[in-house]
């Protein structure tokens, strides 16, 4: 495990204690604004922080998802695929989450989910997605008529859910995430409420970045790099957007899972959300 942005005399001892939570995973913890509560900073994932875990998605799951992606995603305007509705992955919502690798990702993040959500968790049905993201300009994405490549600064929570607990997990299906293929930009601005989307409807990306500097002049944008099967995790209020450059010529495929407390599924519609006990994974 690597870490950065550490200050204070007690950080190392607290880090060593926290290591007991993640005994076998190769994990990197990245702190956001350096104003974290010392008692919980390695235990609670705060807005603006993210964690990466290598080899979180088994190869057999990756190959299965790539076959589906190649069959379903032909052009940049194609929308994401909902795992719960993908009948080639099984005859039940639960089976589809298992065969896609979504449950394998949760198992890798088991201790983190217990700390941030609890033993009882719920997977948001319409938020478990297989997404292909193409490198494109913000203007091109805007003209497609929907947020095809997530080039806006946004949070994964919503106005109703607000600052209630949510953990977002995203696994790359290819090498070169954030280098050869589109990745993520993550803003470490510390916020405690749902703010909306910056990129469309008059709220431009650059406006958000300027406002973030006005709130915290030390705020920064991080661009993590992942390889095939690696996973990035952050909370539902963390601002993020697709990161792409003109030199990228290939799309990126990723599996995304969002987890909340079972009592909060009402914030995402009356659907067949998947409720699990994390200890049984």
Instruction: Average the pLDDT over each of 4-8, 78-82, 96-100, 241-245 and give the range with the smallest value.
Output: 4-8
Topology of domain 24-280, CATH: Jelly Rolls (2.60.120)
Mean pLDDT of 268-279: 91
- What six digits make up the tokens of 23? 């005994």
- Phi and psi at 271, nearest 5°, equal -115, 175
The predicted pLDDT at position 30 comes to 57
8 Å CB contact between 4 and 30: yes
Give the pairing of strands 129-133 and 81-82: antiparallel
Mean pLDDT of 102-119: 95
8 Å CB contact between 84 and 125: yes
Whether the per-residue pLDDT at 23 is higher than 80: the answer is no
The predicted pLDDT at position 266 comes to 94
- Phi and psi at 232, nearest 5°, equal -115, 145
The predicted pLDDT at position 43 comes to 57
pLDDT in tens, 188-244: 999 999 987 776 555 677 788 888 899 999 999 999 999 999 999 999 999 999 998
Q: Give the Cα separation of 220 and 228 in Å (integer).
A: 26
Q: 2: part of which helix (H) or strand (E)?
A: strand 2-3
Q: In this structure, what is the dihedral angle of CA atoms 89, 100, 278, 116, given to the nearest 10 degrees?
A: -130
User: How large a percentage of the chain has pLDDT more than 90?
Assistant: 62
Q: Give the Cα separation of 64 and 36 in Å (integer).
A: 40
- The better pLDDT of the pair 109, 4 is held by 109
Q: Give the Cα separation of 237 and 155 in Å (integer).
A: 5
Residue with tokens 């299906």: 173
The predicted pLDDT at position 272 comes to 83
The predicted pLDDT at position 271 comes to 82
The predicted pLDDT at position 203 comes to 61
Enumerate the domain spans of the chain: 24-280
Mean pLDDT of 169-198: 93
The predicted pLDDT at position 137 comes to 62
Whether the per-residue pLDDT at 263 is higher than 80: the answer is yes
The predicted pLDDT at position 211 comes to 87
- The better pLDDT of the pair 135, 15 is held by 135
The predicted pLDDT at position 204 comes to 76
Question: Model confidence at 7, in pLDDT bands (50, 70, 90)?
Answer: very low
């Amino acid at each position: 495990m690597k870490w950065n942005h550490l200050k204070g005399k007690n950080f190392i001892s607290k880090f060593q204690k926290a290591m007991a939570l993640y005994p076998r995973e190769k994990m990197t913890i990245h702190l956001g604004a350096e104003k974290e509560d010392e008692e919980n900073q390695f235990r609670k994932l705060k807005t603006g922080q993210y964690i990466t875990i290598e080899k979180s998605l088994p190869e057999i799951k990756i190959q299965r998802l790539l076959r589906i992606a190649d069959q379903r995603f032909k052009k940049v305007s194609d929308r994401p695929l909902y795992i719960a509705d993908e009948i080639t992955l099984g005859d039940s919502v639960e089976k589809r989450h298992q065969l896609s690798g979504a449950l394998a990702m949760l198992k890798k993040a088991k201790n983190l989910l217990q700390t941030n959500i609890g033993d009882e968790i719920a997977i948001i049905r319409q938020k478990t997605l297989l997404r292909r993201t193409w490198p494109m300009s913000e203007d091109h994405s805007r003209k497609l008529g929907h947020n095809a490549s997530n080039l806006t600064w946004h949070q994964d929570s919503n106005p109703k859910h607000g600052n209630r607990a949510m953990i977002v997990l995203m696994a790359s299906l290819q090498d070169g995430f954030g280098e050869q293929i589109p990745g993520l930009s993550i803003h470490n601005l510390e916020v405690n409420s749902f703010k909306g989307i910056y990129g469309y409807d008059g709220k431009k990306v650059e406006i958000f970045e300027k406002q973030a500097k006005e709130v915290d002049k030390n705020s920064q944008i991080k661009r993590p790099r992942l390889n095939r099967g690696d996973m990035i995790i952050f909370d539902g209020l963390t601002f993020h957007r697709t990161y792409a450059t003109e030199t990228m010529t290939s799309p990126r495929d990723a599996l995304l899972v969002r987890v909340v407390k079972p009592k909060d599924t009402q914030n995402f519609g009356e659907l067949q959300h998947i409720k699990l006990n994390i200890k049984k994974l």
